[in-house]
Amino acid sequence: MKTIILAGGLGTRISEETKFKPKPLVKIGEKPIIWHIMKIYSHYGINDFVICSGYKSELIQEYFDNMDEPWTVTPVDTGKETMTGGRLKRVQKYVEDDRFCFTYGDTLNNVNINELINFHIKKKTLATVTACNPPEKYGVLKIKDDMVTSFQEKPHREGEWVNGGFFVLEPGIFDYVKNDLTVWEKEPMGDLAKDNQLSAYRHTKFYQPMDTLSEKNYLEKLWKNNTADWKVWK
């Protein structure tokens, strides 16, 4: 089973880091965030990856040329201006007629991939998305009589669900993607939902995208403090 990872965007909201490298190569600890994502999949026995590069694709290629991991990795330059759905469409030939995983190169969580895949198979839909509780961007204070009674740095908003990536997809989803300008999160996901072909696997544990420098620093802090919940491997 293959995993396709989006790694081609500009990462403009974290330009302090992405001026010189694509966002998936921004490091958490000593390794790029894309390595952390691939380690999650590898822990569950998925070691075959297709990387959809674009912005500074030569650096993606260089990283995997020199990577020391027992993985099969195929970096594919899917174009600098191609949208998320278009990038996926461009690598269709690499998955052929097989079920595959698909995710973003800048998002971490500790979803059980085996349980996710089994859920997808049981639902018999073309697509399954991992639905996550979004983390608050700011710490939350609870106040009583002008005194702080508790403080949580980044609590999750229970009862709210967002697209957390970590999809499981059937080849039939490619019929929903038109061309390079197709944004996966718009028409394809919307049309799949209308056709009752998009299942949601609820994941209530750790989930954290890396869209900003503060989020990068937060992940870095968790890693250095040995409290990185996404580290499911030994």
The residues that bridge with 51 in the sheet, in sequence order, are 5, 75
pLDDT digits (tens, 9 = 90+) for 133-149: 887 766 777 878 877 78
Q: Beta 147-152 vs 162-163: how paired, if at all? A: unpaired
Q: What is the pLDDT of residue 138?
A: 65
Residue 27 to residue 25: CA distance in whole angstroms: 6
- What is the tens place of the pLDDT at every residue in 3-53? 999 999 988 889 888 999 999 999 999 999 999 999 999 999 999 999 999
8 Å CB contact between 101 and 4: yes
**Cβ-contact 101, 3 below 8 angstroms:** yes
Contact 176, 76 (CB under 8 A): no
Six-digit token string for 216:
């990068």
Q: Rounded to 5 degrees, what are φ and ψ at 188?
A: -60, -50
Delimit the domains of the chain by residue range.
2-224
pLDDT at residue 136, as a whole number: 73
Domain made up of 2-224: CATH architecture: Alpha-Beta Complex (3.90)
Residues 6+ apart with CB under 8 A from 175: none
Q: Are 102 and 11 in contact (CB under 8 A)?
A: no
**Per-residue pLDDT reduced to its tens digit, 172-219:** 999 999 999 999 999 999 999 999 999 999 999 999 999 999 999 999
Flag whether the pTM goes above 0.85: yes
The mean of the pLDDT values for the chain is 94
Measured CA to CA, the distance from residue 65 to residue 24 in angstroms comes to 15
- 198, 197, 203, 192: which is closest to 230 by C-alpha? 203
Residue pair 167/6 in contact (Cβ under 8 Å)? The answer is no
Beta strands, E only, 41-139:
48-53, 72-77, 100-104, 107-109, 127-132
Q: Which two tokens stand for residue 119?
A: 């859920």
